[in-house]
Amino acid sequence: QKREISNFDYLMYLNTLAGRSYNDYMQYPVFPWVLADYHSETLNLTNPHTFRDLSKPMGAQTVERKHKFIQRFNEVEKSEGDLSAQCHYCTHYSSAIIVASYLVRIEPFTQTFCSLQGGSFDVADRMFHSVKSTWESASRDNMSDVRELIPEFFYLPEFLTNANHFELGCMQDGTVLGDVQLPPWADGDPHKFILLHRQALESDYVSAHLHRWIDLIFGHKQQGSAAVEAVNTYHPYFYGDKMDLNNIKDPLIKSTILGFISNFGQIPKQV
């Protein structure tokens, strides 16, 4: 509020308090999508419509998609008596594979991604290749994609270029995967993309609304009734503090839960 610390530094501080770390792909620092405009020739940071709605999780960015997730929540089979699996999202906004897929063009993340994929790159059409199409997938098109961003989107232009010339494959439309496709306002320049993206994060609009996103990820809308109301509940396994693995005697169930968490991600500690 006093402008003595940047939004970036504040988010990194919150991530650290919540147990997130660069040293753990499964609990990597999580940052928000801040923009919704990846199609304009110039980026207008004075227009509220340029920005993502920070008061809503990625699954509720459009009214249609929000209602689909609410419907999923309400349709969970209640007759079994166990409502613990009632949730809006069965996938997570941050996981080892999401982190590695964003950073796949630079080592050691290339090797990490391949090992998570069983030794090779993913199908080209599923690889991170375009900022615009990734936003559209996570905010609108794909019901199993609610991913947020990682800190590198605000300071590291190198992850957007295929400087190591990895053969990432060819998409169905014939496009050969190389550098990440950037929005028109970046003029094909990764440095300009990072500069403008960081300016967006530090803009007056984001400064005035960032606390709403923090409530969803780190605060009171992270779990409980406030999370249900905000369309912000995830599979129970994602809430690490709720799962007391010491009390689970069945080794198969325990290993299944641990595998689920390691593959799909964890909710940060509530700050």
pLDDT value, residue 261: 72
Which stretches of the chain score pLDDT less than 50? 79-83
Q: What is the DSSP string of 115-179?
A: HHTTSSPPPGGGS--BHHHHHHIIIII-TT----B-GGGGT-GGGGS-TT-----B-TTSPBP-S
pLDDT value, residue 231: 97
**Topology classification of domain 7-262:** Neurobeachin; Chain: A, domain 1 (1.10.1540)
pLDDT, tens only, 23-69: 999 999 999 999 999 999 999 999 999 999 999 999 999 999 999 99
pLDDT value, residue 78: 54
Predicted TM-score (pTM) of this structure: 0.92
Question: Domain coordinates of the chain in residue numbers?
Answer: 7-262
pLDDT value, residue 83: 47
pLDDT, tens only, 175-196: 899 999 999 999 999 999 999 9
